A and B are shown apart, each in its own frame.
Chain A
């Protein structure tokens, strides 16, 4: 098990290196220049050259690349080019908790909606409830997240005044302020995912209910609820775990867009602004952090298999 984990982590390092390299060169292939834009107003190209030198961007590209790798290995993501030159790590440290809160809350909202919906529609197969869930699921799946976000704002913030329309409050300032700001964006990004999971749970539950061991459990006279929750459901959830890693990607991607609708200064906003400003260190740092989360989440998912399914053991 630990040997497996070490192997996976080594693999993760390779993936991180590939991501860092790819992003580094791709960014530099994007037309445009961070400094020319900044000095556009003053129109002094010499000032741009000075700044380029200050950030080491006048050196050949391979020198820049090696220097970048060296810095990253030391845990230094560099300084933001645009604005006041604050360290990228500081920008990320500020934005990351917001995006992570949003993503995780979206994830939980999705599961809270999807698991009961999927179970009910499997247990009440081909009834009005089942068809209703199916219709809602397809609606949820085909609705763009930013549009759902706007609808939510119109209804719950503008009309009903139940929830704040925009902004973010850190969790350490109390649960409700944090939750009330995040619940709408979380639902907006979680809904498509909830729709997928609900459909998956429905079909895998129907499959499991036909399994021999469920028939056996029934023949033992077990109570229906016990049978469903203790025998059938854990088996039905196995395929769902598989998509959780992918789901996290979906949710993070959703967060990047939806953060902008709700004016939450998370990684999404950082990334988009960074790209627009050609702020290389910021974009490199933010993408690296996102991909670390991603790789770790996938390792975590694979570890979760061993918890729920005793047949799976890694060597």
Chain B
């Protein structure tokens, strides 16, 4: 049984400009110990979808209008705030995007690292401190005992993200949600942090949902990938399937817009033209149509559903046949 199953999740935000359909009937699952990526541009609804798993979407203005989030057989949307609180940090933990602002500036690292353990695991002060030292070692922070007494401003961005990872691992959760965990970091640090997360999740058998706009991250670390566009999942498959054989024009566009070592040097990058659509005014057709070079007038009539492309690979596009033959030609 899948550890996490998101089924037909719909999430709206009411704003002065109208209702924003941030997440539109998305479904995906995560097996125990697996790394699943959710890829998309800013504003594609990937963060909102992740926050709704933990029940952290502010309501109002947010509102979950459809679907179910089943975790270990239990629908998280049915739980009371208190039951949900016991899952947060204990069974599902989250790493956020901004390590520089994710730690409370007035509390010591030790305090912030141990408070969840003391609450969820009922550890005493000394036991929690011992475990904190162990965790700091695990995420590669030297001199942990001294560092625990320091404050966030004594730590660099990369170090803070290591602290965040230690914090997230502290209660041995079954699932970690990582929302752009390396976007705010230097490129050289990014790889370190991601490798660390991969090693630790593998060693501890923790499943991870990694939210990113960086396809390089996906290629290297994810088992399976969901590509999101305008609040919908437009393509899903294993990382290999998606890389070797992208089916949706948006995925193809994304892959063409990042530099790759397996292409000739000097070959130009092709950005996707246009901008993401206004989520308050989505038409009935495919949301990607205005930016799509394969679009036909029929694409504006209705939104395509996900269709099999082979294996576990699915994509939501009306012109899959044409694209496939076009690539072959």
Asked if residues A223 and B153 are in contact (CB atoms below 8 Å), the reply is no
Q: Which residues does chain A contribute within 8 Å of B151, judged by CB atoms?
A: 310-311
Give the shortest distance, in Å, between B182 (CB) and chain A (any CB): 16
A218-B56, A221-B88 known; A231 vs B105 contact (CB < 8 Å)? no
Q: A217: which of B86, B98, B104 is its contact (CB, 8 Å)?
A: B104
Say if the beta carbon of A158 comes within 8 Å of chain B. no
**Per-position contact with B for A148-178: 1 when CB-CB < 8 Å, else 0?**
0000000000000000000000000000000
Asked if residues B88 and A211 are in contact (CB atoms below 8 Å), the reply is no
Q: Which residues does chain A contribute within 8 Å of B86, judged by CB atoms?
A: 221
Q: Which residues does chain B contribute within 8 Å of A211, judged by CB atoms?
A: 101
Say if the beta carbon of A215 comes within 8 Å of chain B. yes
Within B90-131, which residues are at the interface with A (CB < 8 Å)? Answer: 90, 93-94, 96, 98, 101-107, 115-116, 119-120
Asked if residues B106 and A221 are in contact (CB atoms below 8 Å), the reply is no
Chain A interface size, as a band, is 20 to 34
Say if the beta carbon of B255 comes within 8 Å of chain A. no
**Interchain CA distance A230-B105 in the complex, whole Å:** 12
Within A215-270, which residues are at the interface with B (CB < 8 Å)? Answer: 215-223, 226, 230-231, 234-235
List the B residue with the shortest CB-CB distance to A217: B104
List the A residue with the shortest CB-CB distance to B108: A310
Q: A221: which of B87, B98, B164 is its contact (CB, 8 Å)?
A: B87
List the A residue with the shortest CB-CB distance to B105: A311
Q: Which residues does chain B contribute within 8 Å of A310, judged by CB atoms?
A: 105-106, 151, 153
A216-B96, A310-B151 known; A231 vs B104 contact (CB < 8 Å)? yes
Say if the beta carbon of A94 comes within 8 Å of chain B. no
Say if the beta carbon of A212 comes within 8 Å of chain B. yes
**Interchain CA distance A308-B96 in the complex, whole Å:** 26
**Interchain CA distance A308-B107 in the complex, whole Å:** 10
Asked if residues A220 and B88 are in contact (CB atoms below 8 Å), the reply is yes
Asked if residues A235 and B105 are in contact (CB atoms below 8 Å), the reply is yes
Number of inter-chain CB pairs below 8 Å: 70
Asked if residues A216 and B102 are in contact (CB atoms below 8 Å), the reply is yes
List the A residue with the shortest CB-CB distance to B91: A221
**Per-position contact with A for B67-104: 1 when CB-CB < 8 Å, else 0?**
00000000000000000011111100110101001111
Asked if residues A219 and B106 are in contact (CB atoms below 8 Å), the reply is no
Q: Which residues does chain A contribute within 8 Å of B120, judged by CB atoms?
A: 221
Q: Which residues does chain A contribute within 8 Å of B115, judged by CB atoms?
A: 220, 222, 226
List the A residue with the shortest CB-CB distance to B106: A234
Asked if residues A223 and B119 are in contact (CB atoms below 8 Å), the reply is yes
Asked if residues A222 and B116 are in contact (CB atoms below 8 Å), the reply is yes
Asked if residues A220 and B101 are in contact (CB atoms below 8 Å), the reply is no
List the A residue with the shortest CB-CB distance to B151: A310
**Per-position contact with A for B147-160: 1 when CB-CB < 8 Å, else 0?**
00001010000000
Q: Which residues does chain A contribute within 8 Å of B85, judged by CB atoms?
A: 221-223
Q: A221-B119, A310-B105 given; name 15 further pairs at CB < 8 Å.
A: A211-B101, A212-B98, A213-B103, A213-B104, A213-B105, A215-B56, A216-B102, A216-B164, A219-B89, A220-B167, A221-B120, A223-B85, A226-B115, A226-B119, A310-B106
8 closest cross-chain pairs (CB), A and B: A221-B88, A221-B89, A220-B89, A212-B101, A310-B151, A220-B116, A213-B104, A219-B94
